[in-house]
């Protein structure tokens, strides 16, 4: 009988190697370091099963799972340290169409895979025989930033501090890393919305904090926006810029999805337009969809400088393209020159 073809998508070389060694006797195995590489390989050879990590660069696993299930459904088994059985991440993955979940330990992954070889093999064989169906988005009203923050004219004081606001999605983790690691210690306060699942933004911020000259942290309710600090919106929460006199701080809230996302770039950008006006600079980076396009136009109308990442340096030229089309972009720049221009 033909051996099932398995594609292992994980940014850990140790995990890819361990799976290859484990599965080679009973499966045809291919590996990819991230979803964008996996996508290219899937176009050449359609796998019978995809083994998918959740926390990866350029595109997270849940986003890739959604893409698979809505375009070309096939069996997906989640294998991730973020997906313990019964956890929110595991339940969300199953709701999005994954057929099973394997929880990876934080340490000793190679040994875990070897010791669990029978279980993993049985799970993948069962997955290869499962029937999967296209997952369709529920028909719901598409909401704008009005659902979170009503439209209002900006109230700006000339002596207020400068603010940088950045929105990104697919491919944004690497783009943000390049920008943030280039910032000097006294850079203006920066607010970031990166489309990532809940639980991943804290680890992302911690990693950037260790490699940057500015402080980088996942935003908490009431955090002050000051020079030398980058605040990243927590997954599954909207982040808004607020103002008390000359002091800026952030407000977090749940609320409905805006532009199909929570956190939403549109929500952040509108709040920045209202609280900072011409004292802000806005940037829209690589990403799929149009979140941020309307908000960036509001920032520009309020006097802010606005920048979009150019197509050549984008992983996905969706969000910048929409922002340009709606007239919200003052300049289009390659990623390489973005940090200097923001400053």
Helical H runs in the chain?
13-23, 35-44, 61-71, 88-95, 109-115, 117-128, 172-180, 200-211, 265-275, 293-301, 319-325, 338-342
Q: Is the residue at 141 inside a domain?
A: no
Residue tagged active-site, from 80, 100, 195, 238: 195
Q: Does residue 296 share a domain with residue 240?
A: yes
Q: Are residues 117 and 163 in the same domain?
A: no
Same domain, 58 and 196: no
Residue 145 covered by a domain: no
Residues 65 and 209 in one domain: no
Assess whether 98 and 160 both reside in one domain: no
CATH of the domain at 301: 3.40.50.180
Is 22 among the domain residues? Answer: yes
Q: Note if 144 is an active site residue.
A: no
Shared domain for 330 and 263, answered yes or no, is: yes
Does 310 participate in catalysis according to the annotation? no
Tokens 């292992």 correspond to 8
| Edge-to-edge order in the sheet of strand 305-309 | 215-218, 229-232, 189-194, 163-168, 280-284, 305-309, 331-333
CA distance 262 to 343: 28
Beta carbons within 10 angstroms of residue 237's beta carbon: 18
- Looking up tokens 């350029």 gives 58
Does residue 139 belong to any structural domain of this protein?
A: no
Q: Say what the pLDDT of residue 203 is.
A: 82
Last residue in a domain, options 128, 146, 179: 128
Residues 237 and 169 in one domain: yes
283, 338 Cβ separation under 8 angstroms: yes
Catalytic residue among 34, 48, 291, 310: 291
The whole domain housing 285 covers: 155-342
Q: Please give the tally of structural domains in the chain.
A: 2
Q: How far apart are CA 116 and CA 110, in angstroms?
A: 10
For every one of its 343 residues, what pLDDT tens digit does the chain have, with 9 covering 90 and above? Answer: 578 999 999 999 998 998 898 888 889 999 999 999 999 999 999 999 999 998 887 888 988 998 999 888 999 999 887 766 556 777 778 778 888 888 777 778 778 887 878 878 888 988 888 777 766 555 456 788 888 888 887 665 556 789 999 999 877 888 999 999 999 999 999 999 998 877 778 888 998 999 999 999 999 999 999 999 999 999 889 999 999 888 999 999 998 889 888 999 999 999 999 999 999 999 999 987 899 999 999 999 999 999 999 999 988 888 999 999 999 999 999 999 899 999 9
Please indicate, yes or no, whether residues 122 and 160 belong to a single structural domain of this protein.
Answer: no
Residue 101 DSSP SS3: strand
Q: Domain check: are 303 and 184 in the same one?
A: yes
Whether 58 and 185 share a structural domain: no
Residue 165 and residue 122 share a domain:
no
User: Is 195 tagged catalytic?
Assistant: yes
Confirm whether 115 is domain-assigned.
Answer: yes
Using DSSP, state whether 289 is helix, strand or coil: coil
Nearest to 177 by CA among 122, 142, 214: 214
Q: How far apart, in whole angstroms, are the C-alpha atoms of residue 220 and residue 252? A: 7
119 shares a domain with 234 = no
Structure tokens at 100: 């099973």
pTM of the model: 0.73
332 occurs within a structural domain: yes
CATH value at residue 14: 3.40.50.2300
Name the active-site residue from 63, 80, 169, 313.
169
């Amino acid at each position: 009988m033909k051996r099932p073809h398995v594609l292992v998508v994980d940014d850990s070389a140790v995990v890819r190697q361990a799976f290859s060694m484990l599965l080679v006797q009973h499966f045809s195995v291919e590996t990819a370091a991230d979803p964008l590489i996996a996508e290219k390989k899937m176009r050449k050879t359609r796998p019978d099963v995809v083994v998918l990590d959740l926390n990866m660069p350029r595109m997270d696993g849940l986003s890739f799972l959604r893409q698979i299930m809505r375009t070309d459904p096939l069996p997906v088994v989640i294998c991730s340290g973020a997906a313990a059985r019964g956890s929110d991440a595991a339940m969300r993955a199953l709701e999005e169409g994954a057929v099973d979940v394997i929880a990876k330990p934080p340490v000793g992954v190679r040994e875990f895979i070897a010791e669990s070889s029978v279980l993993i093999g049985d799970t993948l064989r069962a997955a290869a025989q499962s029937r999967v169906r296209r997952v369709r988005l529920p028909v719901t009203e598409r909401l704008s930033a009005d659902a979170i923050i009503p439209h209002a004219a900006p109230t700006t004081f000339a002596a207020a501090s400068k603010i940088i606001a950045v929105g990104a999605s697919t491919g944004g983790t690497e783009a943000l890393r390049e920008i943030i690691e280039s910032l000097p210690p006294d850079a203006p306060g920066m607010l970031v919305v990166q489309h990532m699942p809940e639980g991943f933004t804290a680890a992302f911020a911690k990693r950037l904090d260790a490699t940057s000259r500015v402080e980088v942290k996942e935003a908490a309710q009431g955090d002050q926006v000051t020079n030398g600090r980058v605040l990243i919106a927590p997954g599954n929460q909207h982040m808004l810029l607020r103002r008390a006199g000359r002091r800026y701080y952030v407000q977090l809230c749940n609320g409905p999805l805006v532009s199909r996302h929570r956190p939403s770039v549109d929500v952040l950008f509108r709040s920045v337009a209202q609280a900072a006006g011409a004292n802000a600079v806005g940037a829209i980076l690589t990403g799929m969809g149009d979140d941020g396009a309307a908000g960036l136009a509001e920032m520009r109308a309020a006097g802010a400088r606005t920048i979009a990442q150019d197509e050549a340096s984008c992983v996905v030229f969706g969000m910048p393209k929409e922002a340009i089309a709606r007239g919200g972009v003052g300049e289009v720049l390659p990623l390489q020159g973005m940090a200097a221009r923001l400053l």
